[in-house]
Amino acid sequence: MHLIFLLLIGVSGERQRRYLEDDDVPIIEVFDLTHPTTWQDMEEFYSAIAKGWKICINCGIPGLGTGLHLEHSTKLGSMQPATIPTEYLLTRLAIIDVSHMTKQISSSLILSLDVALQWMVLKHDPREPTLLLFNFGWKSKSTKRQCICKIPGLSYELAEYIARNLTRVVGVATDAPSLESEETREMALRTVSNVLGKNGVYIIENVNIKRKLPERGCMALAMPLKMREVSYVPARLTVFCPKQKTDRFVTIALKKPGQTKELIKVDGDVDLYEILNK
């Protein structure tokens, strides 16, 4: 038996069939949603934490690239990403696209619970381990490693609601450098990071969203660097999405040995030079 990614039929499809034939399976696209980092930047970051420097408290550093943490990323004694169960890193992906609100209202948008509940995915606990990705449409204006605070984020009430009511949400991600908002940025304990982290929900920041992705139907694979004795680690985030609009969703299934078909298609050629020199 071989492990592959397949598309299972949706609720509105044929209820009696549990598996799909090869001809039923559209191509799956693979997207890398990662901003790279460098060892030098990470070394300076870890060194500053070890010395007790107050770096970017409740703010974010876009130049560090995509990273993952539990609780506050610069707080000594925080829970470590290395302890996250593997089954919580391969998840269902749900995207909450509020980029239009960021453009129309404020680049420092505070997403409240009342507004967020317009998205059905936040009204009910998902059936499977799920990663929520908040797309604020945030773009960095500088490639330098510096602290940025004027960014969109979540209200404390929304973060608390996710942590306490959506029990199968195992992670929350954002394309901004931090999930903290103007409401929580000056707080010490009443922060988005603390309420999520203490409830076992990890945070992924600086997600690289280059194009519009389906809000439903995708799977996500988070790959944090497995480092010991650190609370913040570089991470790679890869998602698998249907190429065409469909009521089916990407999942994992077993397939009998046989003729191989092209089920997965990478979006464009990989430019190694571009990756290493960003």
Q: Answer yes or no: is 254 within a domain.
A: no
pTM for the model stands at 0.81
78-83 mean pLDDT: 77
Structurally, how many domains does the chain consist of?
1
**Which segment of 40-49, 72-81, 196-205 scores lowest on mean pLDDT?**
72-81
Q: Answer yes or no: is 18 within a domain.
A: no
Name the percent of the chain in helix, strand, coil, to the closest 5: 20, 25, 55
At 35, phi and psi to the nearest 5? -95, 130
pLDDT tens digits along 225-243: 988 878 889 999 999 999 8
Q: Answer yes or no: is 11 within a domain.
A: no
- Tracing tokens 């000594």 back to the chain, one arrives at 76
Q: What percent of the chain has pLDDT over 90?
A: 42
Q: How confident is the prediction for the chain on average, in pLDDT? A: 80
Q: Answer yes or no: is 102 within a domain.
A: yes
Q: Answer yes or no: is 51 within a domain.
A: yes
110-115 mean pLDDT: 95
Q: What is the pLDDT of residue 174?
A: 96
Q: Answer yes or no: is 112 within a domain.
A: yes
How far, CA to CA in Å, does 203 sit from each of 56, 68, 116, 146?
16, 6, 18, 20
**Which segment of 36-50, 105-119, 229-243 scores lowest on mean pLDDT?**
36-50
**Position 136 pLDDT exceeds 60:** yes
**How far apart are alpha carbons 231 and 170 in whole angstroms?**
17
Q: Answer yes or no: is 252 within a domain.
A: no
81: CB partners within 8 A, 6+ apart? 68, 69, 70, 202, 224, 226, 227, 230, 231, 232, 233, 235
The domain in which residue 168 lies consists of: 25-243
**Position 101 pLDDT exceeds 50:** yes
Q: What is the CATH number of the domain that holds 175?
A: 3.50.30.50
**Position 7 pLDDT exceeds 80:** no
**How far apart are alpha carbons 69 and 203 in whole angstroms?**
5
Q: Answer yes or no: is 181 within a domain.
A: yes
269: CB partners within 8 A, 6+ apart? none
